[in-house]
A and B are shown apart, each in its own frame.
Chain A
Amino acid sequence: MELPTKTYRITRADLVRYAGASGDFNPIHWSDRFATGVGLPGVIAHGMFTMALVGRAVTDWAGAPDAVVDYNVRFARPVVVPDDDEGAEVVVDAKVREVTEDGLTRLDLIATCGGEKVLAQARATIRAPR
């Protein structure tokens, strides 16, 4: 079963806010000068920010903020966030791989940006709302 696609837009303002909330102030997430200096195409989103957005999709699908019992991703490629009002768009899809007898649902997750997969081997296990 496929779940409804969710789309998130990431702008530089989001990266600044996430840096403050998470305490990850690595300049590759806010300085073009620094990011290009270390060989990146530009400022990139925190991998953990992308993982958090996909986690949001998972809890929304689950219908409960506390439903996630296991969640893992591989960071396949960075999300480049241009310094404009549009930013970058991350599209999240999921399909149900398995429903276990004890009420757990295992999801295969796909997150893409500009048609390229940004997370690989992304999976979540959720339980039914209480």
Chain B
Amino acid sequence: MPLDPSFVGRTYPPTAPYQVGREKIREFATAIGATDPAHHDPEAARKLGYADVVAPPTFPVLLTMAASRQVVEDPDLGVDYSRVVHGDQRFAYVRPVVAGDELVCANEIEEATVRRGHGFLTTRTEVTTVAGEPVVTVWSKIVVRGEE
């Protein structure tokens, strides 16, 4: 089923809150080799003015990739996930993600087009605290490869 431009503007209900854990940030930072003490040591993070350890810039993809399932698995869209490749990714920050944050993701479809047989689907995810404070806006474009 090709992507239908009428899906542009479709919004999805906010996801259940994600509790950002100190150990998860440490684990993620270690996995990407990010050794800055502010990713690992709460005291170092506090010296920068944060309540707890600070996540590296691409950390929010943990939340947004899980949240995007509600879009990709929307039966109306009919995306064949086995044909999906990641196209573009962007993070626009209000402030970094910090351990202790409780974050929710709200998805909106910004682009749904077909070009040369391939589908292009761009999702914008507003990541906010449960109180509604904006933290980061995340754009993710996936390409649904057409049949060869």
Contact = CB atoms under 8 A, between A and B. Distances in A.
Contact of A68 (B38, B49, B57): B57
B31 A20 contact: yes
A116 to B, nearest CB: 17
A21 B27 contact: yes
Contact of B85 (A48, A49, A75): A75
Contacts of A130: 48-49
Contacts of B82: 38
Given A21-B28, A23-B65, A49-B32, A75 B89 contact: yes
A61 interface: no
Given A22-B61, A55-B57, A73 B30 contact: no
Contact of A56 (B34, B50, B66, B87): B34
B86 A48 contact: yes
Q: Say which size band chain B's interface belongs to.
A: 20 to 34
Contacts of A68: 57, 91, 93, 96
Nearest to B37: A65
Interface in B92-127: 92-93, 96
Interface string B12-32: 000000000000100110111
Ranked 6 nearest A-B pairs via Cβ? A72-B90, A21-B31, A65-B36, A52-B32, A68-B57, A55-B57
9 contacts: A21-B24, A49-B32, A52-B32, A52-B56, A56-B56, A65-B39, A68-B91, A72-B91, A75-B86
Interface of B: 24, 27-28, 30-34, 36, 38-39, 48-50, 54, 56-58, 61-62, 65-66, 82, 85-93, 96, 139
Interface of A: 8, 14, 17-18, 20-24, 38, 47-49, 51-53, 55-56, 58-59, 64-66, 68-75, 121, 130
